[in-house]
Amino acid sequence: MDTSLHHAWSLVRFELGIALVSLLLLVLPVILRYSMKRRAPFRWSRPADAFDIEGEPIEIEGNGEEDEAPISSAAVSVPRTLWEARVLPLALLVCAGFWVGLPSLRALLYVEKGNEWCSRQYAAKAAGFYRKSLRIAPDSAAAHRGLAVALSYQGNVDEAIHQFRLSVGIEPDNAGFYEDLAQYYSGLGRFNEAARFYITAVELNPGSTVLRIQTANCLISAGRVDEATDQLRIAVTYDRGSMEAHFNLANCLQVKGDIEGAIAEYQAVLQKYPGSAAVHNNLGSLYVTMNKRDKAANEFSQALQIDPSQTISYFNLAKSLQAIGHRPQAMDNYSQFVIKAQTNTQLSTAVNESRKQMRLLKAAIDRSASS
């Protein structure tokens, strides 16, 4: 549950508490008055067989009827004055305050219903519930945010952005709302605008590694690699065990041409996650750029041992083995790559290159065998 809904539920619980107290204050005097009416007043009466020692009837002052009125009046009027003159009006005022505040409960229930429909991809129904909530509580950041999501599902870009901005304006300290708006801008390909809101979200929630990685990815897409690198360095500082932060930082350093720095980051990842085929493959590619083909071949080989489905690693390993003169092994890996990638249209260029190299290697091996 996000912060807005948490605050709303807190308000509802407070209002329900007031309602229970108000109900108690209203019912208690009714119960008290009812019990007082049923209570028999104390009265003096002369017993039929009351005689003194000498046998004369005992005269008792008062016949009971005279004493009944003041006793009964005193017994009933005190609680009636106390409850009706002081507590009952107060209870009525508290109850009235509760009923005035009750719409916040309805507004919250509309938001919850909208969230339910939105999660099921019924954007139109969800938007209807969010709008009902906003008619009751126009300053509900959660309703504005929910309506923005529903509108984004409907493709209403401008209105969705407007609603996202309203949610941010109502709760400017909520990092989640900035993140929502940034993600929406990213989805539209408007990375510079997205980056601005990501950076604000990070300032509000500086300890979130995930948020910093998202910010860095957005900055990379915007071509702002230096800023992305700074965000990832901070992310690594906060969470040294984050494989994604180290991996992305290595990629940034590689883009910037800092090969040694990128290799150091990949090696840091392997110390914690030695079973990552992707890291071994990327590390091998870096060694290729440094013309360290033997180290590259070792990394590609480890990548395939961990995950044989890494098709491109067969091609990379074959090229490295060919470069260091291991022709038969290179032939085998080119052959494996062609078999696995022949239906992959994205690797068609590499497949054609592999077939060409296989012919060249076969000719070279045949020449070596005949000489």
What is the crossing angle of helices 311-323 and 327-341, to 10°?
160
Tell me how far apart the alpha carbons of residues 69 and 42 are, in angstroms, rounded to a whole number: 10
Q: What is the mean pLDDT of residues 160-184?
A: 93
CB 280 within 8 A of CB 263: no
Tell me how far apart the alpha carbons of residues 250 and 132 are, in angstroms, rounded to a whole number: 49
**83 C-beta neighbours (distance < 10 Å), count:** 19
- Check pLDDT > 70 for residue 176: yes
Q: Which residue has the higher pLDDT, 244 or 28?
A: 244
Q: What is the mean pLDDT of residues 138-152?
A: 93
Encode pLDDT of 281-330 as tens digits.
999 999 999 999 999 999 999 999 999 988 999 999 999 999 999 999 99
Residue 334's Cβ-count burial label (10 Å; 0-12, 13-18, 19+) is buried
Question: What's the pLDDT score for residue 61?
Answer: 54
Q: Which residue has the higher pLDDT, 360 or 94?
A: 360
- Check pLDDT > 70 for residue 15: no
- Check pLDDT > 90 for residue 14: no
Encode pLDDT of 68-82 as tens digits.
445 444 444 444 444
CB 168 within 8 A of CB 178: yes
Alpha-carbon torsion (175, 176, 177, 179), positive or negative: positive
Question: What's the pLDDT score for residue 94?
Answer: 61
Amino acid, res. 207:
G
- Check pLDDT > 90 for residue 169: yes
Question: What's the pLDDT score for residue 179?
Answer: 94
Residue 133's Cβ-count burial label (10 Å; 0-12, 13-18, 19+) is buried
CB 311 within 8 A of CB 341: yes
Residue 356's Cβ-count burial label (10 Å; 0-12, 13-18, 19+) is exposed
Amino acid, res. 140:
S
- Check pLDDT > 50 for residue 266: yes
Secondary structure (3-state) at 65: helix
Question: What's the pLDDT score for residue 2?
Answer: 52
Tell me how far apart the alpha carbons of residues 142 and 2 are, in angstroms, rounded to a whole number: 8
Question: What's the pLDDT score for residue 25?
Answer: 59
Q: What angle do CA 75, 77, 80 make, to 5 degrees?
A: 115
Question: What's the pLDDT score for residue 136?
Answer: 87
Rounded to whole angstroms, the maximal C-alpha distance in the chain is: 159
Tell me how far apart the alpha carbons of residues 309 and 283 are, in angstroms, rounded to a whole number: 18
State how far the alpha carbon of 225 is from the alpha carbons of 162, 254, 282, in Å.
29, 10, 19
The one-character DSSP state at 276 is: -
Least confident of 53-57, 89-93, 356-360: 53-57
Encode pLDDT of 114-133 as tens digits.
999 999 989 999 999 999 99
- Check pLDDT > 70 for residue 249: yes
Secondary structure (3-state) at 51: strand
Encode pLDDT of 187-205 as tens digits.
999 999 999 999 999 999 9
Task: With cut-offs at 50, 70 and 90, classify the pLDDT of residue 272.
Answer: confident
Encode pLDDT of 339-349 as tens digits.
999 888 889 99
Question: What's the pLDDT score for residue 54?
Answer: 53
Question: What's the pLDDT score for residue 76?
Answer: 44
Question: What's the pLDDT score for residue 298?
Answer: 94
Report the mean per-residue pLDDT for the chain.
Answer: 80
Question: What's the pLDDT score for residue 102?
Answer: 65
Least confident of 229-233, 238-242, 323-327: 238-242
Q: CB within 8 A of 130, min separation 6: which ones?
A: 110, 111, 114, 143, 144, 146, 147, 150
Tell me how far apart the alpha carbons of residues 230 and 202 are, in angstroms, rounded to a whole number: 13
The domain limits of the chain are 1-37+68-101
Question: What's the pLDDT score for residue 125?
Answer: 93
Backbone angles phi, psi at 57, to 5 degrees: -60, 145
Secondary structure (3-state) at 156: coil
Q: What percent of the chain has pLDDT over 70?
A: 72
pTM of the predicted protein model: 0.65
Backbone angles phi, psi at 275, to 5 degrees: -95, 25
Residues belonging to the chain:
371
Instruction: State the SS3 of 73-133.
Output: HHHHHHHHHHHHHHHHHHHHHHHHHHHHHCHHHHHHHHHHHHHHHHHCCCHHHHHHHHHHH
